[in-house]
Each structure stands twice: as structure tokens, then as C-alpha cells.
Amino acid sequence: MSSQTSAGRNAAGLCEGRICIVTGAGRGIGREHAIMLAAEGAKVVVNDLGGAMDGSGTSAGPAQDVVDEIIAAGGQAIANTDDISEWSGAERIVNQAIDTFGGLDVLINNAGILRDRMLTNMSEAEWDAVIKVHLKGTAGPSHFAAAYWRDRSKAGETNTARIINTTSPSGIYGNIGQTNYGAAKGGIASFTIIAADELARYGVTVNAVAPAALTRLTENLGMGSASDEAKEAMGPKWIAPIVVWLASTESSDVTGRVFDVRGTLLAVSEGWHQGPKVEGTLDPSSVGPLVEELMGKARPNADMLGIDRK
């Protein structure tokens, strides 16, 4: 069966003809992105290394299973099992999209792993692995996709291109036991804002989603014991609609934003802002009262739900 069969699709979808890469698309949230993109007419490169939750191991099965499902529904997709945390793998996946489908319109950086540990017990390997997959695994594909769109722009071509990154409530609000994961995801949020400013001149928007959903990565974080009703409300299918919309041509005026998506809730996350301020001092013994004044006026940090901590 051809991986590019398009029979069975009728009306044009929101992403008709859009060429999309989705990393970490073999399971969970990424799978939902790929399936919905294809249902809306996109041609999808389904990337997944096929490893375990901690990043160990490889398997072509998860990516190919999603491709088979898309093809069975009349969509167009091709599998990719490159390691996007390696620069060479990131380049190959971008080239594969261009070589197979004739271009690239959308990059969705979703791949990730977990190696949760309290900071006092975390190993160097646990830190490095998470930072590499999440942060470098976002930077690498974005670098090669952005270079492709820059070259098109310089050649006089018009882009309506998208990068959509996956951050996390842990990265923008904080969560105990996830200094490595939160640092990587916080970095992705900052990366999104800066890349949006850099790439606007080339016709590229850059946004991020901070999803909370019940997947194999979160079932051991207390979500696995939720009721059936709660599990339905927190399913990964709720994350895909905002991502598919951001991937479409309708989202051209939205860039540099982070969307908080948890179940049926959709919100825009507001980033760091300068809060209350006072005149500084050169005398360190006078700083205490100034900080007390500032803290009395400042809004508390958010909790994992994005609301003020009590």
C-alpha cells in the first residue's frame, strides 16, 4: 500500500495540502496531532524513535502504525524514525518531508522523554538525556526548517510556515521532581518567543502549547488513578485542535504565544512581566525592607494549574 494514497478524502480540510512534520508522533499527544492533521488534509511525516518513556530503545512500529492508520482513512503520511535530538537526524527529517512531498509548511516539535528525579538524587545522565531530547530536539528540526524557509524567502518565494513547540505546565509554572524536564520545557517557551521574532521576516510563525493530558508519560504522575470521566476529559485528543488550527493558514496573525491546554480548557499563558518596583540602593543592609515591600505587592508564582499559589 502506498504511503501517499489520498483516496477516500472528500471535502477540503483546514490544512488541505499542508506538508507537516510531527516529532514524537507514534503515541499519545503526537499521534493525535498526526491523525487530525491528516484528517484535515495535511501530508504528514510521522516521526517517532519508538523508545520507552525514558528514551531507551528504538522501534519502527509506533510511527508506522500511525502511518498505516492515516492511510487506511484515506490520508497521506510517511514514517520517520530518526533521532531528532541529533543534528543529523533533524536534518534528515526535514529533507525527507521536502523530498517526499515537495516542501515543508509546518514543523510540530513534540518528542519528549521523562527521567523524573529530585534534584539531590539526579544523575548527570538523567539531566543530559532530558535536556537533549526536549531542548536540542526542538532546536535541531527548527534550525533546518527555518533555514529552508529563509532560503525560499530570499529566492522570492512566499512562506506561510509554522513552528509549533511543546512546552509544559512544569516548564512555565514548575513541578517538584522535574528540574530537568521543567528546565527543558521552560527553555522551549523562551525559544518560542525569540524564534517568533527572528523568523517573522520569512513568513514563519512560532507558537507553543503547554498540554496536560493523560498519556503514558503522565499515568504515573497521579493521573492514572483518575475516574473514567476524568480520563475522557483529559484525553490527548483535546490537545490536537489548537495545534491543527495553529498549523493552518488561518493562524497567520498569532505568533510568539504559549497556549495552556488541559482537557477541555484552552487558555493563553502570560509570560514574565516586570512587577512592582522601587528605587534600588548601594547599601546591602537596606535591601531587606525593599524586598519586603516588593513581595507585599507582587503576585505569587503560579501553581501547576496556572493560578496563584496559596
For the ranges 48-62, 147-161, 188-202, the lowest mean pLDDT is seen at 48-62
pLDDT digits (tens, 9 = 90+) for 22-44: 999 999 999 999 999 999 999 99
**For 208-237, what is the mean pLDDT?**
69
Residue 227 has pLDDT above 90, yes or no: no
Q: Could you tell me which of 127, 120, 251, 128 has the C-alpha nearest to residue 196?
A: 251
Report the chain's mean pLDDT, rounded to a whole number.
90
When mean pLDDT is compared across 121-135, 154-168, 201-215, the lowest value belongs to 201-215
**191-197 contacts at long range (C-beta below 8 A, 24 or more positions apart):** 191/135, 191/138, 191/139, 191/142, 191/165, 192/163, 192/165, 192/167, 192/256, 192/258, 193/256, 193/271, 195/142, 195/146, 195/163, 196/255, 196/256, 197/256
Catalytic-labelled residue, pool 85, 142, 168, 170 = 168
CB atoms within 10 A of CB 198: 12
Give the pLDDT score at 7. 33
Active-site annotation holds for 132: no
Most confident residue range from 55-59, 218-222, 293-297 = 293-297
Place of cell 518528542: 111
Tell me, yes or no, if 185 is annotated catalytic.
yes
User: CA dist 308 to 25, 145, 167, 264, 273, Å?
Assistant: 33, 37, 20, 21, 15
User: Is 252 assigned a catalytic role?
Assistant: no
Give the mean model confidence (pLDDT) for residues 150-171.
Answer: 97
Point out the least confidently predicted range of 67-76, 152-161, 220-229.
220-229
Q: Is the pLDDT of residue 2 over 90?
A: no
Q: What is the pTM of this model?
A: 0.89
Q: How many CB atoms lie under 10 A from the CB of residue 174?
A: 16
CA separation for the pair 235, 128 (Å, rounded): 29
Euclidean distance between CA atoms 185 and 46, whole angstroms: 22
Catalytic residue among 173, 181, 202, 248: 181
Q: CATH for 19-269, among 2.60.40.10, 2.30.110.10, 3.20.20.140, 3.40.50.720?
A: 3.40.50.720
Q: Give me 191's grid cell.
A: 525559544
The residue from 185, 202, 248, 269 that is catalytic is 185
- Residue 6: which pLDDT band, with cuts at 50, 70 and 90? very low
pLDDT computed for residue 222 by the predictor: 52
Three-state DSSP at 229 gives helix
pLDDT category of residue 12 using cuts at 50, 70 and 90: confident
Nearest to 38 by CA among 101, 124, 121: 101
Residue 217 has pLDDT above 80, yes or no: no
Are 53 and 216 within 8 A, CB to CB?
A: yes
pLDDT, residue 213, reads: 72
Give the pLDDT of residue 240. 96
pLDDT grade for 308, boundaries at 50, 70 and 90: confident
**pLDDT tens, position by position, 89-145:** 999 999 999 999 999 999 999 999 999 999 999 999 999 999 999 999 999 999 999
In the chain, CATH 3.40.50.720 covers: 19-269
pLDDT at 11: 66
Residue 58: pLDDT above 60?
no
